[in-house]
């Protein structure tokens, strides 16, 4: 009691590099603890007010501090998950891989979709006619074209100039960096190091 479960929730974040399934059970335990602390505080506060029993004041303050700490831990847990989702959007693109998507709550999926929509609207507002893709080049490019190797069969890929390229496993291509960066992040293409 008094924040141990909430602390356990926050320490889970340090142990994880990827987004794990939302710990619904532990969050519910923390919320139940908060409810019982709140009810005890209400009873003692009424006793202080009605009976003028000031001996109960330190226990009310202690429970209030525990309530505040639990709330901060839950908010830190949720904020950290949202931060990781935001980072994944910039690294992987607008489509979340199924192994990550299965670990998310419906509310988190909706938040991710809303973030995608807001980012897309903002990127369309930049530039002249067609917008500007902020996620295309995370580092400044050295050349506009990149030699890549296709790691898996992908099918046809249409370039901006209308040229259609067939991406088959173990084929090499010289593609515009803006086209191949998202495919590299998805694991369909890889940089050719030779």
Task: Render pLDDT for 39-56 as a digit per residue (tens, 0 to 9).
Answer: 999 988 888 778 777 788
> Based on the domain organization, do 101 and 65 belong to the same domain?
yes
pLDDT given for residue 106 in this prediction: 93
My answer on whether 114 and 58 are in the same domain is yes
156 within domain boundaries: yes
> Which CATH number covers residue 163?
3.40.5
Q: By three-state DSSP, how is residue 182 classified?
A: helix
Low-confidence ranges of the chain (pLDDT < 70): 1, 127-128, 136-138, 140-141, 193-194
Q: Look at residue 74 in the predicted model and tell me its pLDDT.
A: 94
- Give me the CATH number covering residue 112: 1.20.58.1030
**According to the model, what pLDDT value does residue 28 have?**
95
Structural domain includes residue 139: no
Chain-centroid distance, C-alpha 86? 5
Q: How many helices (H) and strands (E) does the chain have?
A: 6, 5
Q: Is residue 152 part of a domain?
A: yes
Nearest to 163 by CA among 153, 175, 177: 175
Quick check: 9 and 30 in contact, CB under 8 A? Answer: yes
- Do 165 and 106 lie in a common domain? no
User: Is residue 137 assigned to a domain?
Assistant: no
pLDDT at position 137, please?
62
Neighbours of 10 (CB within 10 A): 15
The gap between the terminal CA atoms of the chain, to the nearest Å, is: 59
pTM surpassing 0.85?
A: no
Segments forming the whole domain that contains residue 181? 145-191
Give a yes or no: residue 186 inside a domain: yes
Torsion region of 145: left, alpha or beta (phi above 0 gives left; psi -120 to 50 gives alpha): beta
* Residue 181 CB burial class (10 angstroms; 0-12, 13-18, ≥19): buried
The crossing angle, in degrees rounded to 10, of helices 24-51 and 4-15 is 150
Split into its structural domains, the chain has a count of 2
The whole-angstrom distance between residue 129's C-alpha and the CA centroid of its chain comes to 31
């Amino acid at each position: 009691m008094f924040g141990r479960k909430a602390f356990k929730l926050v320490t889970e974040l340090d142990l994880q590099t990827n987004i794990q399934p939302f710990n619904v059970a532990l969050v519910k335990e923390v919320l139940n603890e908060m409810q019982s602390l709140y009810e005890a505080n209400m009873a003692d506060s009424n006793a202080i007010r009605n009976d003028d029993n000031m001996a109960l004041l330190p226990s009310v303050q202690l429970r209030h501090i525990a309530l505040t700490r639990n709330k901060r831990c839950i908010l830190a847990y949720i904020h950290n998950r949202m931060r990781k989702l935001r980072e994944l959007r910039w690294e992987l693109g607008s489509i979340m891989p199924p192994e990550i998507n299965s670990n998310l709550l419906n509310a988190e999926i909706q938040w991710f979709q809303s973030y995608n929509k807001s980012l897309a609207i903002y990127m369309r507002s930049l530039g002249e006619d067609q917008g500007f893709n902020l996620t295309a080049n995370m580092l400044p490019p050295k050349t506009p074209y990149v030699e890549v190797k296709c790691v898996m069969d992908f099918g046809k890929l249409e370039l901006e100039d209308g040229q259609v390229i067939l991406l088959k496993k173990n084929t090499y291509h010289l593609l515009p960096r803006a086209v191949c960066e998202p495919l590299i992040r998805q694991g369909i293409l890889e940089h050719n190091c030779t």
